[in-house]
Structure formats: structure tokens, C-alpha cells
Amino acid sequence: MTKPVRLALLGCGTVGSEVVRLLHEQAADLTARIGAPLEIAGIAVRRQGRNRGDLPVDPAVFTTDALGLVKRDDVDVVVEMVGGIEPARTWLVEALRAGKSVVTANKALLAEDGGSLHDAAAESGADLYYEASVAGAIPLLRPLRESLQGDKITRVTGIVNGTTNFILSAMDATGAGFAEALDEATELGYAEADPTADVEGFDAAAKAAILASLAFHTRVSAADVYREGITEVTAADVASANAMGCTIKLLCIASRGPDSTGAESIGVRVYPAMIPRSHPLASVGDAFNAVFVEAVSAGQLMFYGRGAGGAPTASAVLGDVVAVSRNRLAGVRTPSESAYAALPIRPMGEAVTRYHISLDVADRAGVLATVAGVFARHEVSIATVRQASASTGGNTGSTATVGRGGDAILVIVTHAAPDAALAATVEELRGLDIVRSIASVLRVEGGV
């Protein structure tokens, strides 16, 4: 029999435990697919004596010395499922420099300092695979890295965080507020005890950086991604979206095109946005993920499935383990990075988008003309305006007829304009004495 491929597993939490189970349950099939058996050389954990239930593995393989495990000569592949920046970066750079294949699900590390991993892999000729870092079980990164290499990708739009998608879907379905929907997500296990990384968009921003790097052959970090979370989305926003035939999703958007000087560049952003219900992403509910890819020759492609969870993520991890193990047996490697384009990052202010703005204004003559004048000064064209009494929260009304006294809600949707011009418009509106408050500002995507 061919010599086994020896694995060092770093982490044995939700994902790591599922990887161990699948290695045991599918051992015969995996051996047939690879051409050699997979063996666990060791599993690095924080607490060695912890009860790990009925995991089908010899307790002797557990160790708290992760770096020592990585450095062992009998380890061929290092599989990292711990997360975070350090000490994971140290472990993986050590493994790659030693020529060991690395499989990781660590989106935070890849987004913050993926360059150091790619450099180490290139120096030693080692494989670096990370399909599980974005969208769980969905086969997404390999198509971007391999299948679409003969094409030019122009845009990637996706729902890549299951927690926020569950929350927004619940708000859309029931009319609940953000806090109530978050509580439900927490009770059902979709949200962490501290949901900040999810609801503030940090998780999605890291994934957006990885997607943009692969799609546009450019190193993109999380710091390059404009980010907004969903904590300010209200039930009134959802109702207003419904009135427009839209729903609200937390989108990651990466696009390639000219900047203000005409030079080729890329823009990467994450924020909640209204999209029409006819858009393919609008029907993605619950905690599912979906990514919409647009390319010059291939046209529009959509990838959909479970974006998180132990079993789905373990599926993606094992897929990578099979790939790198085959490469080791064949004596080849897959290029892990294509960053030849090195395109500049386009500032968020140059992104062309549309705004949905809800204003609480004084209900008197001349208000609408004053508001319209502000938009005109910033060269932002108004697409629609509707009014409601402040007592209704802006959820009813149609034609704007400000001038009855008291307060009113103006809901304005713009035509496409540079984000900087739209933001400047909102800032000037905020300073008008006729504007009591700006209740909501949301972007509108997808051709509404």
C-alpha cells in the first residue's frame, strides 16, 4: 500500500470534530480518491484532558504543543481550524516554509495577512488551500481560482454571512425589529454570544477581501474593504423596502472598473442594501449563503448553499485535504496565488450607487423645494419622493405634498451617483433647520 498521508489537525472544536468524524467514516472512499490512506498524526488542542465524547480517535494523538506538532517530520499536511491571527499565522508560515501542505478555514488571517502565507508557500513550493474560509460548503473559491482563469470577472456580489442573513430574513418575514430578530438567532444557535463580528460586518468584510483577491488577481486586505453592519436597520426600513418591492440584505460587493481618472481599479464594500425581489439573491433566506459572479464570457453565475456549520465547513476542509494529498503523491502543486494585476483600490467615495433616505421634516410650505435644492447642488438626481405623516412612521403615503404643519416623513430614492456626492448631500440635509432628523439612509442595489 502507498505510504499514508499524515495530517496535523490544529483545533478540535465544532469544525475540527466533524473533520475527525468524516475522516473515520469515509476512510475507505478517501483512500480510493487520493490513492493513499489519510492518517491523523496529531491534534493540537488548548486543553488536553477535555472530554471529547465519542470521537473515533486515540486520545494519545491530542497535544497542547501546536508548533511542535507542525514541526514534526512525519507530518505532510497541516489543517488549521483554530481561527484568529496569532498564533495561527506563526504555525502556518512554519509549516509552509517546511514544504508542508496547508489547509485552513481562517478567513481573518487570510484577509489580514494572506500575503505572508502566499509568500511562504511560493518560496517552498507548498500548497495553500482555503476553500472553507468563505461560504462553508459552497464550492466557490476553487472555481474563481481555477475554473474561471480563462475569463475576466467584472463583479462579485454575495450574501456571505449566515447570521445576518437569518436576522434580516426574519425581520422581512415577521416585521420584527433588529434586537428581536437577533435574540431569535441567538436562541437557535445562529448567532454567537458576542455577535459583533457578524452584525457589524467584520466577518463579511474578511470574506469580501478573499473573494476580491481571487477574482481580480490583486492582493486585497480587510482594511481595503468599506464596511457597514446591520445594527441600524429598522423595521421601518424593512417596511419601506417592501413598499418598493425590495428586501434588505447584507451584501459584499467587489467590482472591477475605471476609477475617477479612467484607470482600471477595484472597489470592495460590505453594507446592508435594498435589492429588488426579482434579484436572485433576494430569495436567499434563513442562514444560507449565495454569491453572484459576473464575467465577460461566462456571463452570470450563482453559487448557493449552507455557508456555515460544522458539517458543511468540514466538507470543504476535506475537499481541500483530498486535493493537496493528491498533489503530494503526484509531486506537483497548485499555484495558490495570482496577484499579477496588482490593481489599486478604488475609494468608497467613487463607488456609484443609489440612496434611500428617510427624513423627518417640518411639514410646511417650501420644505420639498429646499430639500430638492440640496440634491441639485451636489448633482444628485432624485428618482422618487413619497410622504407620510410622522405618526405613521413613514410606512404609508405616496405623492409628496408637504405643507400642512407639524412633522412629516419624506422618503427619497435617488438615481445612481458617486457615493461621495450622496454622502455630502445627506450631511448638508442633516444641518438644515427644517430637517428634524435623518431617520434612515440605505443604499439601493440591483437596478430598482
Identity of residue 71 = K
C-alpha cell at 16: 475540527
CB 233 within 8 A of CB 245: no
Residue identified by cell 460544522 is 310
C-alpha cell at 153: 470577472
Strands (DSSP E) contained in 105-234 are: 128-129, 153-159, 226-227
How do strand 352-362 and strand 407-414 relate by DSSP bridges?
antiparallel
DSSP reduced 3-state for 86: coil
Whether 207 is catalytic is yes
Residue identified by cell 480510493 is 32
**Residue 189, CA distances (Å) to 17, 136, 185, 431 in order:** 18, 16, 6, 43
Closest to 6 measured CA to CA, from 40, 49, 32: 40
Identity of residue 323 = A
Q: How far apart are CA 394 and CA 404, in angstroms?
A: 16
* Annotated catalytic residue, options 3, 71, 152, 207: 207
Residue identified by cell 417592501 is 242
Secondary structure (DSSP) of 214-256: HHHTS---GGGSEE--STT--HHHHHHHHHTTEEEEEEEEEEE
CB 32 within 8 A of CB 1: no
Say how far residue 187 (Cα) sits from the centre of its chain: 23
Catalytic residues: 207
